[in-house]
A and B are shown apart, each in its own frame.
Chain A
Amino acid sequence: MIFATVGTQGQFDRLIRTIDEWAGAHGRTDVFAQTGPSDYHSKHIRAERFIDPTEFRKRVESASLVISHAGMGSIITALELGKRIIVMPRRASLGEHRNDHQLATAKRFAEQGCIMVAFTEHELVNKLDQHQISGEPERLSALASPRLISTIRTFIETGRIRFENRDISS
């Protein structure tokens, strides 16, 4: 099962069309896509515009591969559930987002090696062709880094901003 998702903000038909054509060319019938507010009629994959967060998590859970825009909701959920994810960033010049921050996010996360990134449709097709089920990555824990949690908790409880041994508000 492959799950493709573009979030709720706007259409990202460039991603959906590429996956639809790839699925057609390879006879894949196990692809489901959440397409957002899109008028694109997919021919080879099942599609729905929006799904609720519970179904979203279920879809990710049952997928062997997630393909998504570079939205943090999709990326974090895939990592939390230990799924491999290919990300294609939205581009402002193509009217896919207000700015190019997804490009920057994708680059930075790719450097860290936790996600795969396709910057173009061509790269996406290549990555899909190469993708094979070779074990799933390690799951991310369900919580933020302990140091971040402790900074916020300390501030809530004492009103102090404390980093390690440094107390900057006193």
Chain B
Amino acid sequence: MLRSTVFHRKRLRNNSTLQSHSVRTKLLAVSSGGGHWVQLLRIKRAFENCEVTFVTVHESYRAQVPGHKFYLVNDANRWTKIGLLKAAGRLAWIVWSEKPDIVVSTGAAPGYLALRFGRMMGARTIWLDSIANVEQLSMSGDRIGRCADLWLTQWPHLARPNGPHYTGSVL
């Protein structure tokens, strides 16, 4: 399920384990507002060895991630085509200029778009489906699963052998 670029990168890292890590892994963390953003903040400990750039939908969130690069994107939802196109353009530009090694998202639409673009650019991708989805996966979650290298649900009863996997929740 992992592509060759990943193995290549892994080999590089293994060869240089004894050298100091001069280049940190670049990680793009993307979410829309409200619960999606709160959940992203609750997993950010997992990124602490990376150079993290946040992408979200409200300027007021910037103060919660001091010292990190921060981009704004409009809050696209599936129902407005123009909004979706605008967000897609913006995210394509962000992914292109940041060239992240990893793209991670907790949803929703902006995260879906970021993962698609990230994957095209050879990044590894992580999707953590929102804990709010307790009966079924989110629509973008269901679609995104097929292009996320690590696809996680936060409810054990939604886990499947080929993903999404369950390994705990943000709570």
Contacts and interface: CB of A to CB of B under 8 A. Distances in A.
A117 B157 CA distance: 22
B170 A71 contact: no
Interface of A: 7-9, 52-54, 70-77, 79, 98, 101-102, 104-105, 107-108, 140, 142-153, 155-159, 161, 163, 168-169
Given A148-B167, A155-B126, A161-B150, A73 B37 contact: yes
Interface of B: 1-2, 6-7, 9-10, 25, 27, 33-39, 42-43, 45-47, 49-50, 58, 60-61, 63-64, 79, 102, 104, 124, 126, 128, 130-135, 149-150, 152, 154-155, 165, 167-171
A159 B2 contact: yes
Nearest to B131: A72
A104 B131 CA distance: 11
B6 to A, nearest CB: 5
B170 A144 contact: yes
A76 B170 contact: yes
B151 to A, nearest CB: 9
Q: Is the interface of A mostly helix, strand, loop or mixed?
A: helix
A163 to B, nearest CB: 6
Given A143-B42, A143-B45, A151 B34 contact: no
